[in-house]
């Protein structure tokens, strides 16, 4: 399967990380609806990621789907299906990043804090460095926050080997969810490629995550 555009965007990232501007912010005028590069990107909502800048994308080049963690949720899958089958994208790029807030909590911990558990409130306050204010209500939605597996660390903790491993686990799970979905073909004439990366918020560099590989434990 071709990765022509993905490889070009990775070369753009090397230039970006070296200090070169590779994204032109000027409005290009009238364009077609289909992304020109046939690329769909799923990335975290973190303010330190400017996807267009770090990949050298121009307006109209790609679909960019963002959420907390860059997680492959049901809604991300929905977007990728529409992107591929109706708007002709065939290269999928998944981007997690270092120092991610999704490393600092678990789903159960955040739910307990929001519902008013004092111990959970204290732990969340310690993790974030700010007072955690409970809503003192239970709710059925969202059903999941998709926090990353592994031992918790402080919010925005410097990157280390353990953090990289935890991020890699989730990138691989995200790749697996996409590649094993029956409505996103990864083989045959209508196939899409799927590749996952970790973006270093301190250096601006993307590092590819190997797949298949370990996807982590709850310990």
Domain ranges of the chain: 35-102+149-208, 106-144
In this prediction, residue 191 carries a pLDDT of 95
Cβ neighbors of 40 (< 8 A, separation 6 or more) are 62, 63, 64, 65, 79, 80, 83, 84, 89, 91, 92, 93
Average pLDDT over residues 97-119: 95
Euclidean distance between CA atoms 14 and 54, whole angstroms = 9
In this prediction, residue 73 carries a pLDDT of 96
Q: Is the whole model's pTM more than 0.85, yes or no? A: yes
What six digits make up the tokens of 194?
A: 């799927």
Residue 196 has pLDDT above 60, yes or no: yes
Give the right CATH number for 35-102+149-208 from 3.30.300.30, 3.60.20.10, 3.30.390.10, 3.40.1050.10.
3.40.1050.10
Position 3 confidence tier, pLDDT thresholds 50, 70, 90: confident
Backbone angles phi, psi at 39, to 5 degrees: -115, 140
Buried b (16+ CB within 10 A) or exposed e, 143-170: eebbbbebebbebbbebeeebeebbbbb
- What does the DSSP 8-state code read for residue 159? P
Residue 69 has pLDDT above 60, yes or no: yes
Backbone angles phi, psi at 64, to 5 degrees: -120, 115
Residue 1 has pLDDT above 70, yes or no: no
Q: Where does the chain have alpha helices with state H?
A: 4-17, 51-55, 74-87, 107-115, 118-128, 161-179
Euclidean distance between CA atoms 2 and 114, whole angstroms = 45
Position 218 confidence tier, pLDDT thresholds 50, 70, 90: low
Residue 219 has pLDDT above 80, yes or no: no
Euclidean distance between CA atoms 197 and 3, whole angstroms = 14
Residue 207 has pLDDT above 80, yes or no: yes
Euclidean distance between CA atoms 199 and 182, whole angstroms = 28
């Amino acid at each position: 399967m071709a990765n022509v555009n993905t490889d070009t965007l990775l070369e753009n990232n090397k230039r970006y990380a070296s200090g070169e501007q590779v994204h032109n912010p000027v409005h290009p005028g009238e364009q077609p609806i289909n992304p020109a590069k046939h690329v769909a990107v799923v990335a975290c909502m973190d303010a330190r990621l400017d996807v267009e800048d770090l990949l050298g994308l121009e307006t109209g080049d790609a679909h960019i789907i963002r959420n907390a963690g860059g997680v492959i949720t049901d809604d991300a899958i929905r977007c990728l299906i529409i992107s591929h089958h109706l708007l002709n994208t065939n290269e999928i790029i998944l981007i997690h990043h270092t120092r991610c807030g999704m490393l600092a909590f678990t789903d159960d911990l955040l739910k307990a804090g929001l519902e008013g558990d004092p111990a959970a409130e204290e732990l969340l306050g310690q993790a974030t460095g700010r007072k955690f204010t409970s809503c003192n209500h239970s709710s059925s939605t969202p059903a999941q926050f998709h926090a990353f597996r592994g031992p918790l660390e402080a919010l925005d903790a410097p990157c280390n080997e353990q953090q990289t491993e935890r991020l890699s686990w989730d990138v691989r799970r995200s790749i697996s969810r996409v590649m094993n979905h029956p409505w996103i073909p990864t083989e045959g004439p209508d196939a899409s490629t799927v590749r996952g990366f970790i973006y270093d918020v301190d250096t601006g560099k993307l590092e590819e995550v190997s797949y298949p590989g370990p996807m982590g434990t709850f310990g």
